[in-house]
């Protein structure tokens, strides 16, 4: 066995040993086999830095009901509770943090056995943390913080002191992290209980979750489909309810795509609202399109609790890049919408009902690839429900999408792909297929990088003007309050097919907060035909039966740095019955 194979074998053994033996299940007793693992790759050859296409075939079954057949009754009850219900029971002492943690670890172990989503469970650390929460509540008679006792799963980018953060790279297998990431520090300070790391794609720059070290993560609703990426381990685990709240990152859709493909809520904040300091990343130092941290949850309230909790901990005191903006309750309650209205007097604005009526711009397609029929149906259903609730919905035409897509690719590769190539080379591993960032023949100069940033700022200004120009169409005196759009052209897709991320990475380019939410499921009897499309827009391959039952999500996009306002608008959408 060569050095690379030996390192990977040891990393997988270390992961497997972190799963408590008493929680492992004999899958054969439930008619399930052990997951196939794609072969450990051959070492990189100097003249061949990439790998062959994978050929492993995964089962197409839905394993979402397995916990009801396997878990003890009390563990099932605990893990089926929503985040608000868990926080209430933990705060009252009805449920101890230790007991809550044990239930979720058991379910996370089961998730790992069937969808391969976990890279490490740090049980001893988590049990100590949970016990401290219980002792604090007993001693002080109050909670440690707004996320008191809540188990939290972390994407394998966030350091927990003394634990490895592998991030899908062979080079990082034996790198022990001496200190917490700032996000880990803050979660602990508000009472949360981080308990595991979840799988990511090699480089992080893929809409799939697969790496040479830990293998491929599967979608629990159809294991032959992808859970998305790059926070796909989080998406699969939270969907399986092996974690009540997951923390991911988003540089091109990496929170929203896994949330959508798994039927979850997922929030991409504006840049620098949630602290990134001390986290591991690809292309560190690249700020042209900044990666951001965001939550994944089965509920809107879970995402809201995360944002409120982290901002309550004053992240700007630990991360110099974090903006010093506390959570604004007035923005969340939409009490500041009237400040955007063109009105003749303050009295008129205070009395006007226009301040509470919203206008949404609906993006039927992104001008590059048309969405599958169930996505279009979800948009139509959402429009009808919003209009029934008294809101206005107008058409939104994406602004110069081909230009934006080209610019995004150039910014992602502004270093010529050197960063990812060097890390892969250091680990002796080949680069996987479908990596968004690939090494270039010529390394761009610093001047060329500056020109790219200049072009980006120009596009952002034009995009802002395009948004503001809707003011004359809304009937509210304001431009559109949010864009309602697809997250992807499909409701998940077979493995290695998810290469079109232009529905999400546009919003990273212009740094807009965005939240995704479940609307419906694919129904083959009504979602049959691919509509004809014209011009440069192309249709995606589609088979209604193959996609049957998969969750269909949409996303809402708001104004930069007005994250609380977008969350408030999302609540309006939820209350209108748009989301499941």
The rounded distance, in Å, linking the Cα atoms of 258 and 273 is 21
Taking the C-alpha atoms of 440, 427, 204 and 547 in order, what is their torsion angle to the nearest 10 degrees?
100
The pair of three-digit structure tokens given for residue 390, joined into one six-digit string: 């008294």
Q: d(Cα 226, Cα 120) in Å, to the nearest integer?
A: 21
CA-nearest of 449, 44, 19 to 212 is 44
Annotated binding residue 271:
no
Q: How far apart are CA 297 and CA 264, in angstroms?
A: 6
Distances in whole angstroms, Cα of residue 380 to Cα of each of 362, 364, 488, 542 = 9, 9, 16, 19
The two structure tokens encoding residue 310? 């982290």
Interatomic CA distance for residues 82 and 212, integer angstroms = 34
> Is 493 within 8 Å of 526 (Cβ atoms)?
no
Residue 508 pairs in a beta bridge with none
Quick one: tokens of 58? 């995964």
What gap in Å lies between CA 159 and CA 157, rounded to an integer? 6
Q: Contact, 259 vs 553, CB < 8 A?
A: yes
> Is 251 assigned to a binding site?
yes
From the candidates 18, 96, 153, 155, which is the catalytic residue?
Answer: 155
In which order are the strands placed within the sheet that holds 245-250? 118-121, 193-198, 151-155, 245-250, 292-297, 265-268, 514-521, 551-557, 482-486, 359-362, 392-395
- Answer positive or negative: Cα dihedral of 564, 570, 575, 579: negative
Residue with tokens 């949850």: 297
Question: For this structure, is 351 an active site residue?
Answer: no
**253 annotated to bind ligand:** yes
Encoding tokens for residue 568?
A: 């408030």
Residue 93 burial (CB < 10 Å; 0-12/13-18/19+)? middle
The catalytically annotated residue of 153, 230, 297, 434 is 230
Residue 237 to residue 371: CA distance in whole angstroms? 26
* Residue 254 in marked binding region: yes
Q: Tell me if residue 254 is catalytic.
A: yes
Is 83 within 8 Å of 305 (Cβ atoms)? Answer: yes
Question: In sequence order, what are the residues at sequence separation of 6 or more whose Cβ sits closer than 8 angstroms to the Cβ of residue 515?
Answer: 256, 265, 266, 267, 268, 303, 555, 556, 566, 567, 570
Cα 404 from Cα 509, distance rounded (Å): 8
Is 340 tagged catalytic? no
- Round to whole Å and give the CA distance between 250 and 412: 13
What is the length of the chain? 580
DSSP 441-502: SSPPPHHHHHHHHHHHHHHHHHHHHHHHTTHHHHSSSSS-SEEEEESSSSSS-BTT-----H
CB burial class (10 A; 0-12, 13-18, 19+) of residue 462? Answer: middle
Q: Please tell me the distance from the alpha carbon of residue 14 to that of residue 367, in angstroms, as a whole number.
A: 46
- Per annotation, catalytic residue among 254, 282, 297, 438: 254
Q: Which residues are annotated as a binding site?
A: 204, 230, 251-254
Annotated binding site for substrate: 204, 230, 251-254
Residues marked as catalytic: 155, 230, 254
């Amino acid at each position: 066995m060569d050095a690379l194979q030996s390192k990977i074998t040891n990393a997988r053994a270390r992961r497997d040993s972190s799963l408590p033996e008493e929680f492992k299940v004999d899958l054969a007793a439930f008619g399930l086999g052990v997951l196939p693992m794609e072969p450990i790759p051959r070492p990189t050859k100097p003249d061949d830095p990439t790998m062959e296409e994978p050929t492993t075939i995964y089962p197409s079954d839905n394993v979402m009901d397995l916990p009801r057949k396997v878990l003890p009754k009390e563990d099932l009850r605990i893990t089926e509770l929503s985040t608000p219900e868990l926080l209430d029971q933990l705060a009252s002492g009805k449920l101890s943090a230790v007991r809550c943690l044990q239930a979720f670890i058991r379910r996370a172990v089961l998730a790992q056995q069937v969808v391969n989503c976990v890279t490490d469970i740090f049980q001893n650390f988590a049990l100590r943390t949970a016990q401290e929460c219980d002792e604090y509540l007993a001693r002080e008679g109050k909670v440690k913080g707004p996320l008191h006792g809540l188990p939290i799963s972390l994407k394998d980018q966030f350091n927990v002191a003394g634990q490895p953060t592998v991030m899908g790279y062979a080079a990082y297998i034996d790198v022990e992290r001496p200190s917490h990431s700032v996000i880990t520090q803050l979660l602990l300070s508000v009472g949360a209980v981080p308990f595991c790391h979840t799988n990511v794609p090699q480089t992080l720059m893929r809409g799939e979750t697969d790496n040479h070290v830990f293998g491929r993560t599967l979608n629990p609703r159809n294991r032959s489909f992808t859970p998305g990426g790059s926070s796909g381990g989080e998406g699969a685990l939270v969907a399986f309810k092996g974690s009540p709240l997951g923390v991911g990152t988003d540089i091109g859709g990496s929170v929203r795509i896994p949330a959508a493909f798994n039927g979850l809520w997922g929030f991409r904040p504006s840049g620098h609202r949630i602290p990134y300091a001390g986290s591991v990343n690809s292309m560190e130092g690249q700020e042209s399109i900044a990666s951001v941290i965001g939550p994944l949850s089965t509920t809107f309230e879970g995402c809201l609790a995360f944002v409120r909790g982290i901002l309550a901990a004053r992240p700007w005191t630990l991360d110099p890049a974090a903006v010093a903006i506390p959570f604004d309750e007035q923005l969340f309650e939409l009490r500041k919408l009237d400040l955007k209205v063109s009105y003749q007097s303050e009295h008129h604005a205070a009395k006007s009902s226009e301040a509470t009526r919203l206008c949404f711009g609906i993006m039927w397609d992104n001008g590059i690839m048309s969405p599958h029929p169930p996505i279009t149906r979800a948009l139509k259903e959402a429009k009808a429900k919003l209009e029934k609730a008294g809101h206005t919905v107008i058409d939104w035409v994406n602004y110069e999408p081909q230009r934006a897509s080209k610019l995004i690719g150039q910014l992602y590769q502004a270093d010529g792909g050197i960063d990812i190539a060097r890390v892969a080379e250091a680990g002796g591993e080949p680069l996987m297929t479908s990596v968004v960032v690939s090494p270039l023949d010529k390394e761009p100069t610093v001047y060329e990088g500056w020109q790219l940033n200049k072009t980006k700022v120009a596009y952002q200004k034009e995009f802002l003007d395009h948004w503001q120009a809707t003011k004359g169409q809304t009937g509210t005196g304001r431009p559109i309050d949010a864009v309602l759009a697809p997250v992807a052209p499909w409701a998940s897709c077979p493995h290695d097919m998810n290469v079109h991320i232009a529905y999400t990475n546009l919003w990273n380019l212009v740094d807009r907060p965005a939240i995704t939410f479940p609307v419906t499921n694919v129904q083959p009897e009504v979602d049959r035909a691919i509509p004809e499309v014209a011009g440069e827009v192309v249709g995606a391959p589609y088979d209604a039966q193959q996609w049957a039952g998969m969750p269909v999500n949409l996303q809402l996009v708001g104004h930069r740095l007005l994250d609380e306002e977008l969350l408030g608008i999302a609540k309006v959408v939820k209350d209108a019955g748009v989301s499941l």
